[in-house]
Structure 1
Amino acid sequence: MTSDYHNIGYHTIWDIYGCNIQKSSFVPEIKEILNKVVEELNLGKVQEAYKQFHPFGATGFILLEESHISIHTWPEKEFAAIDVFSCKPFDTEKINSILKDFFETNEINTKVITRGELTRIKTASPT
């Protein structure tokens, strides 16, 4: 991702296939990977929440000073979906490598969506 500052933010999504089932089934593991991404990107964590599904599968969300990061897992399908929305540009290839190592897979699709073109956004203040 380039750092052109012509947008409000970047919404990056990862579809991760062939996930190690043990790494995607339970909250402690998804908490570990979300926090690792936050740390690697040097983002400011505000609050986090997680939900364990039974018998397995989990969802996690971290509210960031720069926006948010979330994960949803389907271990029975060996699939995980991760989103990062950030007003701060970051190196998606670095995160791809971290996710591949963590989930023990090479099957990752990454999409970067630019949000809020600054040339079209007005400046205003609440009264």
Structure 2
Amino acid sequence: MYALGTHLLVELKECNAKILSNLKEVQDVLITAAKIANATIVETAFHEFSPFGISGMVVIAESHLSIHTWPEHEYAAVDIFTCGDVLRPEKAVKYLIEKFQCKSPSVVEVKRGILSPLNRKLPHKVSEEEFKSQEPAAGQQDETPRQPAFSN
């Protein structure tokens, strides 16, 4: 199966609360993580909440990295969404774990935009015959929903 992107859902538990509550440090860590993953940084935005907590986003040409911290719970939620196969998001995750001094990390990988072979050809239009030729043979199942673009 072909996917347009990879989405890493990173749970960082038992982190250093002092680091998670430092806006400059959180910002530097997330930006450096993007660079370590070989991402092209387009824009950044971070906000510090009162009495504590930080949310931030690093927009990259290949998608984004985001973070939300709860220092009072020694917890950070990080999303790393990447498109293409050039980036190394797992390197960014290792860096985040190290820098936030995380004792209990977990990562869930979700493939986003899973497309069938037919959909990989889009956005060009296909004829009804071409579409039907891409359908699974009788008895085979293709669980990927299709939305054909028929030529007129």
| TM-score of the two chains, using structure 2 as the length reference | 0.72
Structure with more relative contact order (C-alpha pairs < 8 Å, separation 6 or more): 1
Q: 1:98 deviation in Å?
A: 1.3
8 Å Cα contact 2:34-2:92 kept in structure 1: no
Q: 2:119 aligns with which of 118, 121, 125?
A: 121
SS in 1 for 2:32: helix
In terms of fraction of residues, the more strand-rich structure is: 1
Q: Quick check: 1:22 aligned with 2:18?
A: yes
Q: CA offsets, 1:26-65, max 9 Å, x none? A: 2211111111111101101111111111122100001110
Q: Quick check: 1:49 aligned with 2:45?
A: yes
Report % sequence identity: 31
Aligned residue in 2 for 1:107? 104
8 Å Cα contact 1:37-1:95 kept in structure 2: yes
CA RMSD of aligned residues (A): 1.8
Correspondence list, 1:1-127, <5 A = 6-89=2-85, 90-119=87-116, 121=119, 123-124=122-123
After the TM superposition, which of the residue ranges 96-105 and 53-62 deviates more from structure 2? 96-105
8 Å Cα contact 1:52-1:59 kept in structure 2: yes
Gaps of 5+ in 2: 125-152
Q: 1:78 deviation in Å?
A: 0.5
Q: 1:91 deviation in Å?
A: 4.1
Gaps of 5+ in 1: none
| TM-score of the two chains, using structure 1 as the length reference | 0.86
For 2:91 and 2:40, the matched residues in 1 are separated by 18
SS in 2 for 1:121: helix
How many residues were matched structurally? 121
